[in-house]
């Protein structure tokens, strides 16, 4: 089954990435395993944010707590590759937990979705996910 995301939401994410060409943007994705419904941008606290990302742990923990209390479910994360392609890097593979979470990677106007999985065919850690852009 394809993963659904609205054209509006995807455009907002791509615009955010495009407006920040000097560093990787990152954040959390909310929704269900088959549909991205919202996102929350988080600070990139990586030591070198130009070519790496690390989601600020403070909003990350807060979002997990909120989800456990009945708030929006975290289904994955997103980040941009300002000077690369919209495919997972070896660094992404090293950082990913094989927990089936969704990874959205953006480069320019390209966006691609993956699931983090043990022994995935992409970088040994990701499975490409077909996505469908829906109008809301």
Query: Which residue ranges make up the site for Zn ion (CB under 5 A)?
Result: 89, 92
Residue with Cβ nearer Zn ion (72 or 124) = 124
Nearest-angstrom CA–CA distance, 11 and 26? 15
Residue with Cβ nearer Zn ion (54 or 92) = 92
The conformational region for residue 10 under phi > 0 = left, psi -120 to 50 = alpha, else beta, is alpha
- Residue 12's contacts (CB-CB under 8 Å, 6 or more residues apart) are 39
- Reading the block at residue 23, the tokens are 């560093």
CB of 81 to Zn ion, least distance (A): 5
CB of 67 to Zn ion, least distance (A): 24
Residue with Cβ nearer Zn ion (67 or 128) = 128
| Residue with the CB atom nearest Zn ion in the bound state | 92
């Amino acid at each position: 089954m394809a993963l659904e995301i609205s054209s509006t939401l995807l455009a907002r994410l791509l615009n955010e990435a495009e407006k920040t060409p000097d560093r990787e943007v990152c954040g959390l994705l909310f929704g269900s395993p088959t549909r991205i419904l919202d996102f929350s941008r988080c600070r990139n606290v990586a030591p070198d944010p130009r070519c790496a990302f690390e989601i600020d742990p403070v909003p990350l923990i807060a979002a997990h707590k909120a989800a456990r209390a009945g708030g929006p479910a975290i289904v994955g994360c997103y980040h941009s590759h300002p000077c690369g392609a919209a495919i997972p890097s070896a660094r992404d593979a090293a950082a990913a937990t094989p927990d089936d979470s969704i990874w959205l990677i953006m480069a320019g106007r390209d966006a691609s979705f993956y699931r983090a999985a043990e022994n995935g065919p992409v970088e040994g850690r990701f499975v490409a996910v077909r996505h469908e852009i829906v109008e809301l």
